[in-house]
Amino acid sequence: MARLPTPSARPRVTAATRRRLNQRKLLWPELDPELVWDRSTFTGFTTVPRTLSLILRIVDGLDAKKAGRVYFDLWCRAFDDFVIEVRDEFELAFSAGYEGQRAVRSWRERIAVLTDAGFVKTYRAPHGAPRMIVVLDPHPVVAERNRRGLVAAEDWLALQSLLVSIGSRPL
């Protein structure tokens, strides 16, 4: 990844950040700070909700096809508008972990799972392949699925607990 030339993009350093940095220095005094990802000095990053790992668990529980890797790859490709233009399905399939003759088919099957469950919306080209994808806020989707009894109780409880622990309100 290319380094950004401007150090002014650094986030505000809070007391909690200083405490964690001090803890890191204490536990790993030999650690070169250059070996730790710093989103303010690299291009090619996106904002990810802290709940994403649990959301991926819920997505994987939708269907035997386990669409979590595809969903995560879409998040990684998203800008703040969360619209992804599909230019090369094989590239997206490969990035999500699929290769070989069935790669694109497997990727499309997972996109269908995500679409049917309400996590994404797709705009299809005239020949039927996804051309544009918008990634929706997963929290209302999961909340609606939970109201319909489609989320495992332990996943719902874990998500609610995490939301409270990070200072968000439960769904």
pTM of the entire structure?
0.82
Q: Which residue type sits at 25?
A: K
- Rounded CA separation 169/154 (Å): 18
pLDDT tens-place string over residues 24-63: 999 999 999 888 887 777 787 788 899 999 999 999 999 8
Residues 63 and 36 in one domain: no
144 burial type by CB count under 10 A (0-12 exposed, 13-18 middle, 19+ buried): middle
pLDDT tens-place string over residues 73-101: 999 998 888 999 999 999 999 999 999 99
Residues 144 and 128 in one domain: yes
pLDDT tens-place string over residues 60-75: 999 888 999 999 999 9
Residues 37 and 115 in one domain: no
Q: Largest Cα–Cα distance of the chain, in whole Å?
A: 59
- Rounded CA separation 46/37 (Å): 13
171 inside domain:
no
Query: Nearest Cα to 59, choosing from 133, 129, 115?
Result: 115
40 inside domain:
yes
* pLDDT for position 4: 46
145 inside domain:
yes
- Rounded CA separation 36/138 (Å): 28
Residues 10 and 58 in one domain: no
Count of structural domains within the chain: 2
Domain extent at residue 40:
1-45
